[in-house]
């Protein structure tokens, strides 16, 4: 009996550990504060955190480099029979760090964004409905934004908007 309990706990632990995933390079906020604009170079960033998720080179040789990281974990009860139908779900965390460099490869600025998301599925987690819509109804799509037309009159150098 004791051996069966140990085996069951080991299987549950194994299922819990396999329910994680991560992609990209996560750059901790504390490390961003150590970077010095105008001194830190593009090659320093790439050497420290490996190649970025995206690297955009502008015609003037200025550069924008983006690192995106996503980490997710499924609810361990997703692996239990009928678990997802009752209390399933997942959590995720995402970070995006954008570095802007001048044409000489010097850091101009860095911008960091973090977010998280929790998805609940299953009967016991409950479904949240809008109090203004009947069950199963979708809200109407938003209208398109108004068009902005800019015209430049060469003789006077003025600009008019409509």
pLDDT in single tens digits along all 162 residues of the chain = 677 776 766 665 555 555 577 789 899 888 999 999 999 999 999 999 999 999 999 999 999 999 999 988 776 665 666 555 556 677 888 999 999 999 999 999 999 999 888 776 665 555 554 455 455 555 556 666 666 555 555 555 555 455
**Nearest Cα to Cα of residue 70 among 91, 46, 95, 45:** 95
**Nearest Cα to Cα of residue 75 among 65, 66, 84:** 84
**SS3 state at 80:** coil
Q: What is the pLDDT of residue 67?
A: 96
Q: What is the pLDDT of residue 129?
A: 46
Q: What is the pLDDT of residue 20?
A: 75
Q: How far apart are CA 52 and CA 55, in angstroms?
A: 6
Q: What is the pLDDT of residue 5?
A: 77
Cβ neighbors of 155 (< 8 A, separation 6 or more) are none
């Amino acid at each position: 009996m004791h051996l069966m309990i140990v085996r069951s706990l080991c299987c549950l632990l194994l299922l819990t550990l396999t329910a994680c995933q991560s992609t990209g390079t996560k750059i901790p906020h504390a490390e961003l504060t150590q970077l010095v604009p105008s001194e830190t170079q593009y090659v320093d960033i790439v050497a420290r955190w490996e190649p970025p998720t995206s690297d955009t080179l502008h015609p003037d040789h200025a550069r924008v480099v983006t690192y995106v990281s996503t980490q997710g974990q499924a609810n361990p009860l997703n692996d239990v029979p009928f678990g997802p139908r009752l209390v399933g779900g997942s959590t995720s965390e995402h970070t995006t760090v954008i570095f802007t460099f001048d044409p000489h490869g010097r850091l101009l600025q860095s911008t960091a964004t973090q977010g998280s998301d929790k998805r609940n599925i299953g009967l016991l987690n409950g479904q949240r409905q809008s109090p203004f819509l009947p069950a199963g109804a979708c809200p109407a799509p938003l209208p398109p934004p108004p068009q902005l037309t800019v015209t430049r009159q060469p003789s006077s150098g003025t600009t008019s908007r409509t």
